[in-house]
Amino acid sequence: MDTSAFDADNSVSCLLSSIVPDVCKTEDCCLGIDEAGRGPVLGPMVYGICFCPISKKEDLKGLKVADSKTLSESERENLFQNLDDAKSFVGWALRILSPNTISTSMLQRTKCNLNTLSHDTAIGLVQFALDSGVQLKEVFVDTVGPAEKYEEKLSKLFPGIEVTVRPKADSLFPIVSAASICAKVARDHIVKNWKFAEDLGDIDTEYGSGYPNDPKTKAWLLKYLDPVFGYPQFVRFSWSTAQTLIDSKAVTVHWDDDEEDGEQAAQRLANRSVLSYFGAPGGVNNKQTHRFFTERRLKSMDTL
């Protein structure tokens, strides 16, 4: 698989797609959606769609696409090749969400959780298929969050398309298995060939599976923790594994949307106690600074 379009700038999200087979533009089609790399603290999350004419559903089985979790990496690689070779009736598209995109979405001021991010990406891919002229009639999705709500959301967005959301859809529907293979192959490729944007010298690539509970991953995270910057962009900062390590081992950084309880904030700002407002006026020697200076946050200095 050629992921060079993403590798060129792995800090953003990227869309990769096959050409749309002509039959898909004329015949009624089904489409499967699945994702790879939802759990790991390292690397991108990849969303994949696969589509083919409903009449060719059985042909997919001939390509022996099965639940990708039961396959080895090389088997998946071969299956993807088979899918890509079936250009005459199978099309696919991938949305690669870089770890940096995941971090910045989840940690921005108006937080966007992973489920929302997943849903939006899936919806974007279905829309992409429609925009490319694919005659969609059926959509099969592996669930993210409660299946009914997700199904309702998608049905409302795409009237006229029959949406089926099921847990373990990747082992139930061949078209979802195919999508899952595309996504997994892409993720493996990217993680293996990750080009670090940071200058880290000869980097140790023994980061294991990338899942938080993998001891290799944990050791790698400890090794590459910078006290000021935290981690390279390869790491999802929003994962609690990364956050806990940063909180305990790196320098504390305060943002103005940090949650602070009232007492702490008051102490920091050296606020006056409420009681002081009820005391007798007068006798206060500290002069109010003119608003020209307070508005501009300018202060006289006592010492350096």
Partner 1 sequence: MPPKKKRMPNVQNNSWVVIAADSVIDIQMKENDPTFVRLRNPATDAGSLYMLSGGGGNVQLHEVKAFEEDFRSWFVGQSVQRDGRLLFVTPMDPLYLILPYLIKSAKEGKFQPADQMVMDEEFPACSRLLSCTRSLASMHHVVDEKEVGGLKFHRYNQDKTLAWLKKKVEKTVLVLKKKNISVGEGVQSSSYIRVKMDSESSNEDYLGYAHGLISEYISKDLSKELRQHLQLPEITSPKETEPPSKKRKLSDKPVEAGEDYTKFNSGEFARKPPKKMTAAQKNLAKVDKSGMKTMSSFFRPKVKEEKK
- State which of residues 160, 254, 263, 278 lies at the interface with partner 1 (CB under 8 A): 254
**Cα–Cα distance between 161 and 126 in angstroms, integer?**
11
- State which of residues 2, 131, 256, 263 lies at the interface with partner 1 (CB under 8 A): 256
The structure tokens listed for 249 are 């081992």
DSSP code string of 211-272: -TT-HHHHHHHHHT-BTTTBS-TTB-TTSHHHHHHHHHHSPP---TT----HHHHHHHTTPP
Cβ 301 to partner 1 shortest distance, Å? 4
**Cα–Cα distance between 70 and 302 in angstroms, integer?**
69
Does residue 304 bind partner 1 (CB under 8 A)?
Answer: yes
| Nearer CB in complex with partner 1: 54/197 | 197
Q: Which of 177, 174, 149, 183 is nearest to 163 (CA)?
A: 149
Q: Count how many residues are written for the chain.
A: 304
- 186 contacts 16 by C-beta, under 8 angstroms: yes
Say which residues have a Cβ less than 8 Å from residue 268's Cβ, sequence separation at least 6.
260
Does residue 293 bind partner 1 (CB under 8 A)?
Answer: yes
Cβ 213 to partner 1 shortest distance, Å? 18
| Nearer CB in complex with partner 1: 272/297 | 297
Does residue 276 bind partner 1 (CB under 8 A)?
Answer: no
**Cα–Cα distance between 178 and 65 in angstroms, integer?**
6
Does residue 272 bind partner 1 (CB under 8 A)?
Answer: no
| Nearer CB in complex with partner 1: 113/289 | 289
| Nearer CB in complex with partner 1: 205/264 | 264
Size of the site for partner 1 (CB under 8 A): 30
| Nearer CB in complex with partner 1: 116/132 | 116
Q: Which of residues 193-252 bind partner 1 (CB under 8 A)?
A: 228, 240, 243-244, 247-248, 252
Does residue 268 bind partner 1 (CB under 8 A)?
Answer: yes
